[in-house]
């Protein structure tokens, strides 16, 4: 019998046992499993009393968004519609709460997931690149220009927090601005480059820089600022997410791009 339910203590090891070599680089579920059981809705699918699939959904009420992540189906149970069942379960719960859209992020090489998303009605909204850099001492000054929310012309800007692409609403902007997480460089009062720093709650030791847009000089200044900040705050990893194809640091390597996909609920 197939059942979708909340997690119970005995699930953890059985789930982690099949979430080890999911991707070429391994998997991250072991890092987040505990925090996901406390935050949002972690759903488990069991078949004949054995947990064989999971998925995590987080509802962002103010942004009216359901964020879906960590879909995992045990290899010997794939292609039976279980991922579809889990995602539609989360979508229904979110819809009942009045949430109007769902998002997830899919690596551009992950054909099964891209097909899954397309089959259940998700559309590609944007493409993002991911770069990894190290923390280090840098010489750039950390002075940035001040910015008010009303100066932002785009209405669909997003920033990355804990690997979730969150709409930059006025209230998110004010919080980030108050804690100096917004990096802005202006040119003749026009915003030339815009970046946002977050530190990952679920993933240990990671500082994330979202480059929303920018010119070479601004991006370089953002990266150097984050490198120094990460060193000061003892973060070992820095991840840069941007829709730009290239960034002006020679030493860093681009990883596979990701698609942000969306469905209206
Ligand atoms: C991606 C994954 C979650 C799909 O789980 P699943 O239970 O096998 O998916 P479903 O049976 O619900 O498939 C639904 C649709 O997805 C697509 N799909 C799923 N697996 C596929 C595959 N191997 N190749 C091509 N399309 C695939 C198909 O369109 C499928 O519909 P169809 O069977 O009618 O053709 C599973 O392969 C998995 O756990 N992969 C590793 C982890 C991962 O990539 N997670 C997603 C990260 S965003």
Which class is domain 129-259?
Answer: alpha beta
pLDDT tens sequence across 91-130 = 999 999 999 999 999 999 999 999 999 999 999 999 999 8
% of the chain exceeding 90 in pLDDT: 74
Q: What are phi and psi for residue 193, nearest 5 degrees?
A: -140, 140
Interval between CA 72 and ligand 1 midpoint (Å): 9
Rounded-to-integer distance, Cα 184 and Cα 149, Å: 12
% of the chain exceeding 70 in pLDDT: 95
Interval between CA 234 and ligand 1 midpoint (Å): 38
Rounded-to-integer distance, Cα 129 and Cα 195, Å: 14
Q: What is the per-residue pLDDT for 221? A: 92
Helix, strand, coil share of the chain (percent; to 5): 30, 35, 35
CATH 3.40.630.30 fits 2-99, yes or no: yes
List CB contacts of 223: < 8 A, sequence separation 6 or more.
133, 209, 240, 247, 249
Query: Which of 29-43, 154-168, 181-195, 198-212 shows the lowest mean pLDDT across its residues?
Result: 198-212
Query: What is the full DSSP assignment across 114-167?
Result: HHHHHHTT-EEEEEEEEEEE------S--------GGG---SS-EEEETTEEEE
State yes or no: pLDDT of 201 exceeds 60: no
Rounded-to-integer distance, Cα 92 and Cα 87, Å: 9
Query: What is the full DSSP assignment across 173-213?
Result: HHHHHHTT-EEEEEETTEEEEEEEEEE-SSSTTEEEEEEEE
Point out the ligand 1 atom lying closest to the alpha carbon of residue 104: 48
State yes or no: pLDDT of 254 exceeds 70: no
- Judge whether 2-99 and 129-259 match in fold: yes
Exposed/middle/buried for 81, CB within 10 Å: 0-12, 13-18, 19+? Answer: exposed
Q: What is the per-residue pLDDT for 136? A: 80
Interval between CA 15 and ligand 1 midpoint (Å): 17
Domain boundaries defined on the chain: 2-99, 129-259
User: Per this entry, what is the length of the chain?
Assistant: 265
Residue 25: CA count within 13 A, CB half-sphere: 5
Q: How confident is the model at residue 39 (pLDDT cuts 50, 70, 90)?
A: confident
Name every protein residue with a CB atom under 6 angstroms from any ligand 1 atom. Answer: 22, 71-73, 78-84, 106, 110-113, 115-116, 119
3-state secondary structure of 33: helix
Q: Which of 77, 116, 256, 261 to mutate to test the pocket of ligand 1 (most atoms within 8 A of CB)?
A: 116
99 neighbors 200 (Cβ within 8 angstroms): no
Output the CA–CA distances (angstroms, integers) from residue 215 to 25, 107, 183, in the order listed: 32, 26, 13
């Amino acid at each position: 019998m197939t059942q979708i339910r909340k997690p119970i203590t005995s699930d953890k090891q059985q789930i982690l046992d099949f979430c080890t070599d999911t991707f070429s680089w391994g998997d991250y579920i072991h890092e987040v499993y505990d925090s996901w059981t406390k935050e949002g809705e972690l759903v488990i699918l069991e078949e004949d009393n054995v947990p064989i699939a999971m998925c995590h959904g987080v509802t962002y009420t103010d942004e009216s968004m359901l964020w879906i992540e960590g879909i995992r189906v045990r290899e010997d149970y794939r292609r039976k519609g279980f991922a579809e069942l889990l995602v539609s379960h989360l979508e229904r719960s979110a819809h009942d709460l009045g949430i109007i859209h769902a998002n997830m992020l899919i690596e551009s090489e992950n054909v099964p997931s891209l097909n899954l998303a397309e089959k259940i009605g998700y559309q590609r909204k944007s493409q993002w690149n991911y770069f990894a850099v190290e923390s280090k001492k840098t010489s750039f000054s950390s002075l940035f220009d001040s910015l008010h929310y009303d100066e932002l012309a785009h209405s669909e800007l997003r920033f990355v927090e804990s690997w979730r692409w969150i709409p930059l609403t006025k209230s998110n902007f004010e919080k980030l601005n108050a804690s100096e997480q917004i990096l802005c460089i202006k040119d003749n009062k026009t915003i030339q480059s815009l970046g946002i720093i977050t530190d990952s709650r679920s993933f240990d030791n990671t500082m994330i820089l979202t480059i929303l847009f920018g010119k070479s000089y601004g991006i370089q200044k953002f990266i150097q600022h984050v490198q120094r900040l990460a060193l000061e705050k003892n973060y070992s990893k820095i991840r840069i997410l941007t829709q730009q194809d290239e960034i002006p640091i020679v030493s860093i390597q681009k990883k596979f791009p990701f698609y942000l996909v969306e469905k209206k609920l």
